[in-house]
Structure 1
Amino acid sequence: MRRAAVLMLLLVGLVAPVAVTAPAHAQGRVTVTNPDGAAVVDPTYATTLTVRGTGFQAVRGGHGGVYVFFGHVRDGWRPSQGGRTGEDYFYVPDSESRDNQGFQQFVAFPGSDTATSAQGSMDAAGDWTVTLTVPGAVFEAFDRSGGSRTIDCRRVTCGVVTVGAHGVSNATNETFTPVRVEELYDADDPVASSAPEPVAGDVATAPAPSEGTATRGRRAGSTPAALEVDRASASAGHVLPFSAVGLTPGRQYSLVLDDGVAGAGPFVASADGSLTGVLTLPVDLGPGTHVLRLWAGGGEEAPEVSFAVQAAAAAADAADAVDDPVDPVAGDGRDPGAVLLVAVGALLLALALLRLALLLRRRRA
């Protein structure tokens, strides 16, 4: 009996550490540089940032990875601690497609099934690099209910934010790296003429429109501002492509569905006053007529369009269609590998105890 007790203690001692101990992992680190090598964005013109992450937790073959945003955070912003988008952290929204405008980036885990939709991938050491576009110092951020809030990075601290992707929070992969807002182009610098399109409106002072360019949402030649959608794609839970013409070149627009049920942007009108993009319709959007509006601020009369939404598809199809990066769901941040070790360890312990019980029964017999 004494030998059996000793054997049981040894088994528990061997298995228990494997079952309860998760591998430790340091916090990921991020460096941010513009083309001049500084962590600075221009208040008026779009700035391209090179964002490098090192030491992130890389889950081999894991679903998801890391989202990379530009935005502003408050105390307690981390999703793993209950932080919520639009309340505790705010960022420039963008389409979730791989060929979006570059305002947000998705970095997939190595060997992930989501790698085909990512702009970058981690290596085994948790290192990665992406290019992030910052459209200007001021942007409209949306919360989970579709409400918007103006964030002015000239008045609050903004920077690069990383959070767990696809609704899986991970405390070790949540970072905030501040950047400064400074003029990168002199008014008479010839480089400014080739800079990215400016953010217009009351956000910052944009160059005056040249002759032949109208303001208030119309272009030369009296081309009326118009918005259209791909009506065949108008189903709840599906992506809705849209296009607009007759806008102010270089101006920034946000897209709003109904009274804020959903939104996307900002989108910058091209030199010919047009823009295209996509909006993911909410999975619970009811069938019937809905209104999509472009919003520019500053009193500009932007276009809108009414369209019919079909009834939602089967639940399985809708679930496959929705993959919303706007609101990562806070979880417990546990490493999937550690959870697997716990399960395996518990199984080994149960089998060992069962074998020991059978051995004791045979000896007593």
Structure 2
Amino acid sequence: MTSLQAPRTRGLFIALLAAALVLLPGFGATTPSPADSAARLGVTSSAGTNKASASGPTTLSVSGSGFQSIDKGFGGIYVVFGYVASSAWQPSKGGKADKDFLYVADSQSKDNKGYQRFVAFPGSSTADSANGGVISANGTFKLSMVIPGPTFTAASASGGTTTVDCREVQCGIITFGAHGVANGRNEAFQPISFGPAASTAPGNAAQNSTATTPAREQARTQTPDAETPGSGAAAAANQGASADAAEVGEAAPPAAVAAGDPMLGLEQQTVIAGRSLGFTGRGFAAGEQVVATLSSGLTAAGPISAGQFGEIAGAVQIPADLAAGTHKLKLTGAGSGGSVEAEFSVMADAALLPAAEGGTQEGLRWAMIAVIAAAALLAILVLSSLVAALARKGETRQAAQDASAAKQRSAARKRRRRPSRRRTAQRPAPGLAGKDPDPATSALDRLDDSLQGERA
């Protein structure tokens, strides 16, 4: 390699290494991919938002957003109406159907009763059986489904059947992965409440009045118990109101639900700092004020008034500067004093991280590509320089061989000239001019003269 090409090769190598370092984390930033939004459901009907009729079937309009759409993926999303029996009901967390969540049974055919819908992935091999349409590329869908009423029968884990009364427990719209494919991104629960029951028939008014009179009298004479939530004056008033309504032939409104064992369900187990975390709760007293607190009061949501069946739903804002890791959300009832908490994980927002943390994996990948490219180019340069050096060496060797051959030819010519001079010196002196020369010597002289003439 010549002295001129060596600095040039080193300069190219340094430039390639500099380009690779620019792609390394901390030297150059890569654009982070946008964070995926959480799956959300919107439910409307003639009874209102997130409401259904308690007197019969209700047709609901269900819309979804933030779901994961997998192009040509197998399966899709099931949309059903049912009851979430466990805070960890999601199949992606080990939840089992008919055990951790129950839903209205329906056939999986396309023309079923409308209690169960199947939303297919775009281009899926199972899209022909979808009766809820196809989820769009941006993770949204919209469909219509039917709720049979406030009660339904579902299969149980033991192989039997279980009757669920949604006026006693919190029911709602449930979504989960279809065809046995668990996907936490597509699991959601939207609570649904029911309106008052239908009025009692006039012909049964007397019978209802007679049947409820003892209860009404007992309620009127009951002593309030201030220490027991859900009992005492409030319970007596509810019982008295029920009895009075029965006496005049009207249906008694559902009695307020007393506080039980509170339960807390989180919309997602991992949330990005700076965003909100949705939650649902149940097991509180009807109308009770419930407060949600994050990490022992770092932030809070509420107070939230519990519904007729002790259910609540809300969202808490996650501070943008909250440390990544495990945190707790706690629900506390103001009246009953009942509380429940659940853990979740917080991740830092990639858009707010320094460049050194923003695209570590992507930066390393491109850096490795750049280093490999630099090494390949350097190898090519070294190989080309080696080939050029070998070619120059061959040319030098050939030139030396040519020069040596020329010297040898010149020496040979000189050797051939020396005998000619000796033969000229041996020619007869002028005094012998009349004598015949030696024939052999004359032939040699003529041959030598001829060769010298050719060389000249």
Give TM-score, length-normalised by structure 1. 0.48
The structure with higher relative contact order (CA 8 Å, sep 6+) is 1
Decide which structure has greater helix share. Answer: 2
Larger radius of gyration: 2
Structure 2 length-normalised TM: 0.40
